[in-house]
Chain A
Amino acid sequence: MPKKVLSSRPQKLRLYVAGHAPNSILAIANLKLICETHLPTDHELEIVDLLEDPRRALADGIVVTPTLLRLHPLPVRKVIGNLSDASQVLLALGR
């Protein structure tokens, strides 16, 4: 059930994945599906391959992959897993 966007600024999401690990591939696919069906079109999504940029992941305090961060609006929300549980993801994103 799509809902109206309340925040004035677009949502900013960042997904950390680890190369071609099965969970990472699944997470990318799951997230894209969720975004298409449930999120307004003006959201920002960045996918970071941790294997290529470990320093950035360290700075963001990433422990496991995949990890999804909602950087905006604050507070930062963190979701771990392959995002197969869409309802949990939406709950975390405040949808």
Chain B
Amino acid sequence: MIRPQQSNGQKVSTGILGFDEIAGGGLPRGRTTLLVGGAGCGKTVFALQSLVAGSREKEPGVFVAFEEDAAQIVANAVSFGWGIEGMSKKKLFFFDARLSPEVVKAGQFDLVGMLALLKAKVEEIGAKRIVFDGIDVLLGLLDDPAAERREIYRIRDWLVAMRLTGIITQKAHSVDAGHHYDFLQFMADCVVTLRHQVIDGASHRSLRVTKYRGSSFSADEYPLALSARGVDVTPRGPSELVYRVSEERISSGLERLDGMLDGGYYRGSNVLISGAPGTAKSTLGGLFAESACKRGERTLYVSFDEGAAQIVRNLRSVGIRLAPHQKSGLLKMFSTRTRTTSVDEQFRQLHEIVNDFAPRCVVIDPFSALSTKAFRSSSVDTGQRFLDFLRRQEITVLNTSLLDGLGADEATATAISTVADTWIHLSYVAQDGERNRALTIVKSRGMAHSNQVRELTLSAKGVSMTDVFIAQGKVLMGVARWEREQSEAVATIRAQIENENKRLQLEVAQAEAAARMEVVKREMEARRVELANLSDVTGASASRLDAQRNTLKRLRRADSEPLGAARSSKKSPPRAASKRGGR
């Protein structure tokens, strides 16, 4: 049969988003893909999902079930919400190829008849894709490796002749045992290996493309999850780090912390808050979430092993109110257990929530709950991949991490510290019989930031930051700081009083001096008047003396000698006069 889409593309989409990305578009069109994996890896779901995706794109499909009851497969797939139950047999046909246990085998058989039946069906509905699920169950009955191989080749040739895009699933144990099914892998154009491991009691599913003829592909192992929507693969994303970076600053929710950070966190940056248990990491997360909601930004708060209601209540006790934002739908709280699902599954779930909710800010509390587990698993970089995804979305993310010290192994092992743009460390300072919270900024890329240690205090009124005292090389906090503050205050008051006293004294002295000056001024005035009076008196008496003398002369009828002559002969006449006068 002729396939009109043949020339349009060499790949067919599987409808599994992450997988299409890894395989450069999907499965090879018109060719055979082998899906290898152990029990419970998701082979059947993977195959069925891509079949359903095809039938949605007007590529009807046939599912040949060798292992499970077709009705059972449909029933299981209903929960994925693909609408499989509503699909007509014209779009998706199930061929029940199970042999009941009562069937007696008497000699060799072949698949000629089955393929003839399938051909009839394929042509009837115009199928473009076909899945052979669990073919080893049937071929195993042949009990003859050569015959099995012959039938496999028969199927391959048939697929090629039919120009069908085929998926054959195969159990992995037969591969491990070096079974004769190995040749399947050489025969197939594309081989996808699924793996399911249990590490430390946590399940890890992964997927790897091991072969892809005529196409580039990523051969790395990727986490795979069986979610409520089917198979999900988490691709790593582009290897080159290309992000939009923002100059915008957003508040940490704590004004003084913003100050220390020269304006707040960068939009789209990754903030790490590390610290021992109880150092108020969640509180900083809550503050950040609250301030984001106040700005009207959608915020996702992810918490592990602590219920949302409990977090809201606890944060309320320090004046952080999240409930109204929760009601308005701006804030979404997502609480989950650390141990319920695998770390890959959890990240995938978060991925989904982020996609659905489209938040601008995310708080993950604590991130270490995920990363410590990831550290042990094969998918070390799952956490980083998720952070990378958030960064590409320009979502500002605040992670808290349980760390006892800055040099802790966890930080380096999980490498969140290298991803973090801003790292704030909270610690306890035990001193004088009490523990106090200290906040330091370990690093903050691209911004001037304070190198000062601050004390973080929590109260019903809210969270505040206080300068610490440094005395004798020790940082003082709590009561010690309070005492220090008190003594400082007393000293200040004392100094104020002393100053006041001194001022008063000086005023008195000044007043005294002024008063003294007034006295002196008055005295001076008095003397001056006295002096003036004195000279007046002297002048008046002299002229009166002259006048009296003239009067006396007249009375005595003295020579009216001219004044000059009289004066030149003054000596003798006055003497004479005095002689006369002395008589």
Contacts and interface: CB of A to CB of B under 8 A. Distances in A.
B116 to A, nearest CB: 5
Contact of B113 (A62, A77, A79, A92): A62
A77 B117 contact: no
B106 A88 contact: yes
Given A63-B98, A63-B138, A54 B120 contact: yes
Contacts of B138: 63-64
A21 interface: yes
Nearest to A82: B107
User: What's the interface size class on A, roughly?
Assistant: 35 or more
- For the residues of A in contact with B, the DSSP-based class is mixed
Nearest to A61: B96
B491 interface: no
Nearest to B104: A92
Given A54-B120, A80-B99, A65 B106 contact: no
A7 to B, nearest CB: 19
Given A61-B96, A78-B102, A17 B113 contact: yes
A82 B112 CA distance: 13
Nearest to A26: B107
A50 B108 contact: no
B106 A85 contact: yes
B572 interface: no
B577 interface: no
Contacts, number: 113
B114 A84 contact: no
A21 B96 CA distance: 22
18 contacts: A19-B112, A23-B110, A23-B112, A24-B113, A54-B116, A58-B117, A58-B120, A58-B121, A63-B97, A63-B98, A78-B100, A79-B105, A80-B99, A81-B105, A82-B108, A84-B107, A85-B106, A88-B106
Given A80-B99, A80-B104, A92-B104, A66 B109 contact: yes
A83 interface: yes
B1 interface: no
A26 B96 CA distance: 26
B117 A84 contact: no
Closest 7 CB pairs of A and B: A65-B113, A81-B107, A84-B107, A18-B112, A82-B107, A88-B106, A18-B113
A27 interface: yes
A85 B113 contact: no
B106 A50 contact: no
Contacts of A66: 109, 113
A91 B112 contact: no
A63 B108 contact: no
A76 B113 CA distance: 20
Given A16-B113, A92-B106, 13 more contacts: A19-B116, A23-B107, A23-B108, A50-B113, A62-B117, A63-B114, A65-B109, A65-B110, A67-B113, A80-B106, A84-B106, A84-B107, A88-B104
